[in-house]
Chain A
C-alpha cells in the first residue's frame, strides 16, 4: 500500500474548486502544498490517485490545477470566461508590459496610471461599463482574478497584490490559440 502524502486532502480541497496551487503564493500553506506536489515522485502518485475519480492533475509552469476527463462543461460559459480573461490581460499588460507572475502592484498604481494613459482608460471603460467609478471597475477586475486564484492580496494595509504563477495559465491559453493565416482562409 503506497503511502499518499498527508496533504492529499488539502490539495484536493483547493484544486477541486477549480483553483490553482502556485509556487509563489505568499500564504505559506499553499506554497508548501506546491512543494509537496512538486517533490520527487509525488506528482505521478497524486496524478494516478486522482485519475481514479475522474480528475486529471495538470502541471503548468510553477502551478498545478485539475481538469476533468470527460467533457461536461458548457462551451458557452467557457467562451464567456475566456473573452473576459482576454480583456483583463490586455488591460493589465497595457498598465504594465511586464505584468506577469511575480509582479507586485497596488490598485492605486493602476489608478495613477489611468490618469495619464488615455488608452488604458479606454480599455477600462470597455470592461467596466457598469461600474460607478474607475476604482470600482479596477477593483472588480482584481477581485475577479483573486477569486480564481490568479492574483492574491499579500498586504491588506498597503493594498499590495502579487501576481501568482497561475497567471501564466491565461497567457498560455492565449498563446495556444492559432490564428488562421491567409492560406487557410481560402
Chain B
C-alpha cells in the first residue's frame, strides 16, 4: 500500500477515474459496488482497479468495493453534504495555535518565528471558517432529521445527539474566544500587526455569529423534541381510544359521552340548511328576477305538451245524413190566432184550435201556461177561475 508520490499523480488519478469515483460517491450509502460492475465501468482494465486499491482510494470487502473514508469525507464536506459534524478540527486548531505560540516564544530566529506566526494566522482563519461551517451543517442536519427520519426513536435520539453537539461547539467557541482574549494576550500584543488584527477581529465576528446561530439551533431542537414528545403522547392516547372503541367499551370506560354532550360545535350538524324565501319586493321590482321568471315560465310552457288525442275514424254509417222531424208548437201563431178570433177565453179557444200535432190535455196545460207567461202584455187575467177536468184555470182574455 502506498500513497501518491506527488500532487500531480493524485490529480491525474482523480481525472482519469472521475466516472467511477462519482459512482462510488453517489452510491456511498449502499453496500459498496460489486466487482463486476466496477470492472465494467473501468472497461475491464484490471490494473486500474489494482492501482486504486494500492493507493487506498478504494477498499475491498469480499466481492464489493467501497470508496475510502478520506475521499468520502472530502467530497461530502466540499459539497456540503456531510451528515457527520466533526468538531475535532476546531479542537485541534486551538491546540495548534497554543503549540505554535509556544514554539514562537522559544525560537529566536527571525525566519522560523515568521513561519510560526504565519501558521498561527492561518489557523486562526481556519477556526472561524470551520466553526461557521459546523454550525450551518448542524442546522441543516437538525431540520433534515426532523423532517425525514421515519423512525420515531431514532429521530429523538439523533436530535438529542445534535443537542450535545451544539453544546460542544459552544464550549469550543468559548475556548477560542478565551484564547485570543486573555491567556495569550501578551503574545498577541507583542506580535500585533495589521494582518493579525484583521484576522482576530474577523474571527471574533465569526465566533459571535456562530454563538447566536447556536442559540437558535438549540431552540429549534428543543421545539422539535417537544413536538415529538407531544406527538408520541397523542399517538399513545389515540391507540388506547381506538382500542376501546373497537372493544365497544369506549362509552363505558371513558367520559366520551359527557365530552360530546358538552360540545355543541356546528361541525357535528349534518349540513345545516337555511332555506330562505324570495323577497316579494325583489320579485316585483328587480329586472334580473323578472328575466329569471320569464325563463322559467318559457321552460314550463315547453315542458308540458298538451296531447290532442286523435280520434278514431268516423264510421260511414254515422256519416249518412239522417233527418229527424219534429213538429213544434209555434206559440206566436197561436197567440195571433187567438187575438184575431172572436174568443174571449183563451182556454176555450185553445180547445178548438187545430194543433199541428196530437196534443193531450197535459200538453194543452203546458201550452196554456207558456202562452200566458210569454205574452203577458197581450193577455189579461181578471182574477177568476174556471175548472176543467179537475184543474183550476185562471181565466185569461185578450186585452181590449
Contact = CB atoms under 8 A, between A and B. Distances in A.
Contacts, number: 104
A180 B264 contact: no
A180 B259 CA distance: 13
Contacts of A3: none
B245 A83 contact: yes
A157 interface: no
B245 A171 contact: no
B256 A177 contact: yes
Contacts of A68: 264-266
Interface in B142-178: 150, 152
A175 B272 contact: no
* B244, B263, B270: most-surrounded residue (chain A CB, <10 A): B263
Nearest to B268: A78
Contacts of A89: 238
Interface stretch (A25-33, A41-49, A93-101): A93-101
A100 B231 contact: yes
A174 B235 CA distance: 10
B266 A17 contact: yes
A177 B254 contact: yes
B243 to A, nearest CB: 10
A16 B240 CA distance: 33
B254 A20 contact: no
Contact of A179 (B253, B260, B264, B265): B253
B265 A180 contact: no
B272 A20 contact: no
Interface in A17-75: 17-20, 55-56, 58, 65-73, 75
Contact of A180 (B253, B257, B274): B253
A72 B256 CA distance: 18
A68 B266 CA distance: 7
A176 interface: yes
Given A97-B235, A98-B231, A79 B254 contact: no
A135 interface: no
Nearest to B253: A180
A86 B237 CA distance: 11
B267 A169 contact: yes
Contacts of A87: 242, 245
Nearest to A178: B255
Nearest to A70: B264
A77 interface: yes
Contact of B259 (A20, A100, A169, A177): A177
B110 interface: no
Contacts of A148: 267
A14 to B, nearest CB: 11
A67 B245 contact: no
A74 B38 CA distance: 70
B258 to A, nearest CB: 9
B261 A71 contact: yes
A90 B254 contact: no
B269 interface: yes
B3 interface: no
Contacts of A179: 240-241, 244, 253-254
Contact of A65 (B261, B267, B274): B267
Given A17-B272, A90-B239, A93-B238, A67 B254 contact: no
A97 B150 CA distance: 8
Contacts of A111: none
Given A17-B271, A175-B237, A179-B240, A73 B231 contact: no
A16 B266 contact: yes
A129 interface: no
Contacts of A77: 268, 270
Given A77-B270, A178-B254, A65 B238 contact: no
A173 interface: yes
A50 to B, nearest CB: 11
A79 B258 CA distance: 11
B264 A69 contact: yes
B234 interface: yes
A81 interface: yes
A18 B266 contact: yes
Contacts of A173: 259, 263
Contact of A78 (B231, B250, B263, B271): B263
B268 A73 contact: yes
A86 B254 CA distance: 14
A70 B241 CA distance: 28
Contacts of B266: 15-18, 55, 65-68
Nearest to A126: B246
A131 interface: no
A56 to B, nearest CB: 8
B265 A65 contact: yes
22 contacts: A17-B266, A65-B265, A67-B266, A68-B264, A69-B264, A71-B261, A71-B264, A73-B269, A79-B257, A81-B268, A83-B250, A86-B241, A86-B245, A90-B239, A90-B242, A93-B238, A98-B231, A174-B234, A174-B241, A175-B234, A177-B256, A180-B253
Interface of B: 150, 152, 231, 234-235, 237-242, 244-245, 250-251, 253-257, 259-261, 263-272, 274
Given A18-B268, A77-B268, A90-B239, 8 more contacts: A58-B265, A65-B267, A66-B266, A73-B268, A78-B260, A83-B250, A100-B231, A174-B241
